[in-house]
Structure 1
Amino acid sequence: MIKLIASDLDGTLIGSDFRFRPRTLQALHAAANAGVRIVFVTGRPLRWMEPVLAQLGQEWNGENSFAFCSNGAVTYDIARSQAVATRTMSGSEVQALHTDLEEAFPGALYIAETLEHVYVQGTYEPHVQEDTSKMVKGPLSQILAPRAEVVKYLLFQGGAVPSNLLAQVQEVVGERASATRSAPYQPLVEVAQRGLNKGRVLADFAQSLGIAPDEVAAFGDMPNDFEMLDWAGHGYVMASGLPELKDRVGRICPGFEEDGVAQTIERMLTEREGRQA
């Protein structure tokens, strides 16, 4: 029986307009009200979450839900409206990585995010949901303090092939940190604490609640979702997801435009009710 549902957001639960589709929202409410824990596991930083979570409405069963932001670097308690845990890199660790990556990718855009600030080196067009008041611009070697607690460090190399860029960054970074990508066709790589990924954070969270992998359903569409989908007993790639992820995971649910997550949750709830009858 499914006790926990973990899902990516962009491309999985919300579309390019950053909104939930009505059927998906209804299915999430039904699952939460049935006592299933809901966790949103996303590459989005915490500062982009308020417009998304606001769509859940005041009737949302927040006691059963959390958001793991920045690929798991930040745990956000939805009921308490606050970050309750972080998994960070120090500014000095990021500076060491930055020195090597800047040599390999001169002229790239570099961003280091903390909960308080966004440090930007290079030409950057703010996201539509960006809080620009938190932005600090300049060479990271000068503006990022050694003791800063960095939740995510990003590299954008215009014109690069996304999959190739990821492989190249991983080669430079080595075992010092984790590197992945979550934007389907953008040459953007996200670097985080060594060993950190969505699957590790989800596994730790489930274990703390006594929930086994076969009691977890997970949904995603991009490479940064792989470890989560691989760990969950019921891990689904969206049919609209990246082909390479579908090949790796194998279990597919209908795409975003078909309300694939909603369809799967509805089926799971029906099966759950049948077992409880």
Structure 2
Amino acid sequence: MLATFVRYFSFMNSQPVAPVSFGAPIVGDAPVKLVATDVDGTILSYAQSMTGEVSARTVEAFQAAREAGIAVVLVTGRPVRGLRGVSSALGLIGPVIASNGAMTYDLAADAPLDHQPLAAQALFTAKDLIQELDPTVAFAAETPRMLHMEESFARGSLWFDDERRRAVGIRDEEIAMGPLDDTLERHSAWPVAAEGLTPQVPVLKLLAKTHEMEADAFIAAAQERVGHMVTVTHSAPGISLLEISAKGVNKAQALRRYADSLGIDAENTIAFGDMPNDIEMLQWAGTSWAVGSAHPMARSAADRVAGTCEDDGVAEVLELLLKGTLT
């Protein structure tokens, strides 16, 4: 733990401030110094989520932004292990904000910069309360090294099919199958839970899936039940899947910490997203866009609406920004 924070504060002190040049791209009266973007459904269509095939137009737009002296960071619900391909395609091998803000990681150094796991008491209490809400709920948990899944969570998905899983680059050692109480060593963690310590296996994100409730109804019920102890959101369209993080952890909080490390304010940051887990980030940034295919809650949180993900809406905004014709 100490080594992790030493790396983080070293990073905070060593990163150069994003360059500011005369004639820098501007939105309103504010020069743009940082672009923060969600991945799935925003710059990568859900149809391409597993392959990670980013459009050539999007790649060119992000490369042009970096060449113009603008810092770029991916801010996503994905775990770190799901970001290397997309980051490489975009030429962004460096810091990324993963797991809805619970992990900031330097892909170039292959080292964590900051992480905010769930405390044991909050993790297991939230799990129990959500199961009371719907006894059919299946659970999974993201940790820094692997995905822990109950069999009922994986059934019917690529996670449950060895060949499909390996075809998209997910290694067997990245999966722990079984009841979460066992794989996360609940009974070892619980005696110290009252002290707010993390589980024996640190959890960045608890996942809860149901087939009995519609997604927005599920999140509303869960927020009422456990929102006082954890952060509850969701990002998978058409799936009733909750994503649960430590209280106060979200994309905006992690992005603010990262922007502070670069000496960049919110007003000099633009952000893009498409789902409820992007809301806080879209509200924090000086100017934000929801893509045209976004969830209604994300559209309401954003300042503007871009073209759809399938139509390279984010790339179009960046192109106009760099041309100086963004209105």
Say whether the fold is shared (TM-score over 0.5): yes
What's the CA shift string for 1:139-178, capped at 9, x where partnerless?
2222213222111000000142000000111122131110
What's the CA shift string for 1:77-131, capped at 9, x where partnerless?
1332332221111344312221222222212210111112322124213165533
Letter in 2 for 1:14: L
Q: In 2, Cα distance between the equivalents of 1:233 and 1:225? A: 14
Q: How does 1:52-201 map to 2 (within 5 A)?
A: 52-56=86-90, 60=91, 62=93, 65-123=94-152, 124=154, 125=157, 126=159, 128=168, 130-145=170-185, 146=189, 147-201=200-254
Alignment RMSD (CA, Å): 2.0
Change (3 A) 1:61 1:224: closer
User: SS in structure 2 opposite 1:256?
Assistant: coil
Q: In 2, Cα distance between the equivalents of 1:190 and 1:239? A: 23
> What count of residue pairs does the alignment treat as equivalent?
268
Give unpaired runs (5+ residues) of structure 1: 273-277
Name the structure 1 match of 2:33.
3
Deviation at 1:49, TM superposition (A): 1.5
Contact 1:38 1:66 in 2 (8 A): no
Contact 1:177 1:192 in 2 (8 A): yes
User: SS in structure 2 opposite 1:258?
Assistant: coil
Contact 2:290 2:306 in 1 (8 A): yes
Name the structure 1 match of 2:192.
none
Q: In 1, Cα distance between the equivalents of 2:175 and 2:108? A: 28
2:284 pairs with 1:255? no
Q: In 2, Cα distance between the equivalents of 1:224 and 1:203? A: 15
2:99 pairs with 1:46? no
Letter in 2 for 1:52: V
Q: In 1, Cα distance between the equivalents of 2:292 and 2:127? A: 36
Contact 2:279 2:297 in 1 (8 A): no
Contact 2:287 2:303 in 1 (8 A): no
Q: In 1, Cα distance between the equivalents of 2:242 and 2:36? A: 23
Contact 2:122 2:230 in 1 (8 A): no
Name the structure 2 match of 1:237.
290
Contact 1:47 1:131 in 2 (8 A): no
Deviation at 1:208, TM superposition (A): 2.5
Give unpaired runs (5+ residues) of structure 2: 1-30, 160-164, 190-199
Q: In 2, Cα distance between the equivalents of 1:39 and 1:94? A: 28
Q: In 2, Cα distance between the equivalents of 1:105 and 1:148? A: 25
Identical amino acids, percent of aligned pairs: 33
**Greater share of residues in strand:** 1
What's the CA shift string for 1:2-28, capped at 9, x where partnerless?
000000000111122132111111010
Greater Cα shift, 144-153 or 227-236: 144-153
Contact 2:42 2:273 in 1 (8 A): yes
Larger Rg: 2
Return the TM-score normalized by structure 1: 0.90
